[in-house]
Amino acid sequence: MSLLADRVALVTGGSRGIGRAVALALANAGAKVAVNYHERSDDARTVVDAIRSAGGRAMAIGADVSRSADVSAMVAAVERDLGPIDVLVNNAGVAIIRGVDDLTEEDFDRTIAVNLKSAFLCTQAVVPAMLTRKWGRIVNISSGAARGAGGVGVHYNASKAGMEGLTRGYAARLVKDGITVNAVAPSLIETDMVRSGLVSSASRIPLGRFGTAEECAHVVLMVIGNAYMTGQTVPLSGGLSFN
């Protein structure tokens, strides 16, 4: 992945889980990495320390990516410290588990803001510099819930389905300028959300186990490295579902 040597990457929600694994993988591929966090500053700094210990460059940057002012300030800070952003991974998200009967308007609005609006705000913020350089890679972390029932709730389904629509819309409009936009859609990855009780057993997964955050990171690197792939959603489900 010499393609990423001296490239600058921003990973939203990069302090733990899939975001952490993606940040470490990007650094290992040669990128300078900005690790965004909202509340988990210590976790984000642990990721940064790991990257620096391996000889890479990284920074932790706090921001609520559902707020435009925070996003603008975050992108400006990354550009000052590391340089213009070449790779954006929209990973930040919330999974508020609700049934139809107890889902509130507040739950719905927060989920859409953090999972979907944030991807829009961050993409809008980094695209102008990518257009100037005629090169960019944007990867949105979706979910199998975008196309299936899922276990979190209809608000989560809607946010992830919207993210995949956003992916296709940007891909169609940016491809001629050397910018690719793709999505990765994991299902039942062994993260805090699954460990907290969303799924008690991996028995219904044909492969017989949950996926790992590192396996998600491998797919993110794959789509970043392929200049011909754009507008696609790559599922990662252990055989649980197929496109």
Q: State if pTM tops 0.85.
A: yes
pLDDT of res. 163:
98
- Tens digits of per-residue pLDDT, 183-216? 999 988 887 666 565 665 777 888 888 889 999 9
pLDDT of res. 200:
58
Distance CA 110, CA 96 (A): 9
Q: Is 156 a catalytic residue?
A: yes
The answer to the question of residue 47 being in a domain is yes
Domain span including residue 133: 2-236
Distance CA 128, CA 25 (A): 25
Sheet containing strand 233-236, edge to edge, reads: 58-62, 32-37, 8-11, 87-90, 136-141, 179-186, 233-236
Given 37, 156, 170, 228, which residue is catalytic? 156
The answer to the question of residue 206 being in a domain is yes
Least confident of 38-42, 95-99, 192-196: 192-196
Distance CA 231, CA 171 (A): 5
Q: How many CA atoms lie within 13 A of 185 on its CB side?
A: 28
Q: Please name which of 212, 227, 219, 106 lies closest in space to residue 174, comparing C-alpha atoms.
A: 227
The answer to the question of residue 141 being in a domain is yes
Q: How confident is the model at residue 217 (pLDDT cuts 50, 70, 90)?
A: very high
pLDDT of res. 243:
67
**CATH, residue 15:** 3.40.50.720
- Tens digits of per-residue pLDDT, 100-122? 999 999 999 999 999 999 999 99
Distance between start and end Cα atoms, the chain: 28
Number of domains making up the chain? 1
